[in-house]
Structures are given as structure tokens and as C-alpha cells.
Amino acid sequence: MIKTFFDLDVYRLGNDYSMKIYLLTRSFPKSETYSLTSQIVDSSRSICANIAEGWGRRVYESEFKKFLVYSMGSLQETKSWLNFAVQCKYINDETFKTLMEEAEVIGGKLFKLHQNWKS
């Protein structure tokens, strides 16, 4: 039974994903602290933050769905920042591939929740 946004599988997956990215960025160069590092951490956290904010507005179905779309946008932004990270050689190809695969799973679940949510 879903009582809070914490009960949503996609929220839990998104939170785990965000924490992986946060830990990964600890090894990025200090020169990236206020650019790539902060951008990728913020966008990955925004995936879950938008789910949570939308949950708070779920009495209006369109509002919840709007925030799920924002969450999907944050996920895509995170993928873009990951692309920069691999190009700059801050992460290796295998890590990049794994994170992109996880992003696809999260994106699929967000899309499915958006399509199937009924107030």
C-alpha cells in the first residue's frame, strides 16, 4: 500500500541513484566543485524532490503528473552531466554505462507512473 512518496518504488530507486552519484562525485577534481559536481548532484536530487513535491499536490491529478514530468526532465539532465563526466574522464566507461542503464529503469518507471496514475 502506498501511504507516502517514500513507498513509491521509483522514489526509492531515484534516491539510491542520487546517492550513488553523490558518492561518485566526491572523487571529482576540486576545480569542478561549483560546476559539474554541483550540477550533477543537484539534478540527480531533483529527480526525487520533484516526485515528493508532486506527491504533496496529488489531490490534483494534473499537478502530480506535472511534477513527474519535471522529474523525468531532471533525470535527462543528470544523464547529460554524466556524459560530461565520462568525457572528462572523471568516471570510466563501465560506470557510465551502469548509471545510464539505471537511469533508463527509473525513467521507465516514472513514465509508467505518469501514464497510470489516477487520483
The full set of domain ranges for the chain reads 5-116
* Cβ atoms 10, 109 nearer than 8 A: yes
pTM, two decimal places: 0.95
**Mind listing the pLDDT tens digit for each residue in 75-113?**
999 999 999 999 999 999 999 999 999 999 999 999 999
Q: Using CA atoms, how far apart are residues 1 and 17, in angstroms rounded to an integer?
A: 23
What superfamily does domain 5-116 belong to in CATH?
23S rRNA-intervening sequence (1.20.1440.60)
34-59 exposure pattern, b = at least 16 Cβ within 10 A, e = fewer: eebbebbbebbbbbbbbbbbbbeeee
**Average pLDDT over every residue of 41-52:** 98
Cell 572523471, residue?
90
Q: Where are the beta strands (DSSP E) in the chain?
A: none
**Mind listing the pLDDT tens digit for each residue in 4-35?**
999 999 999 999 999 999 999 999 999 999 99
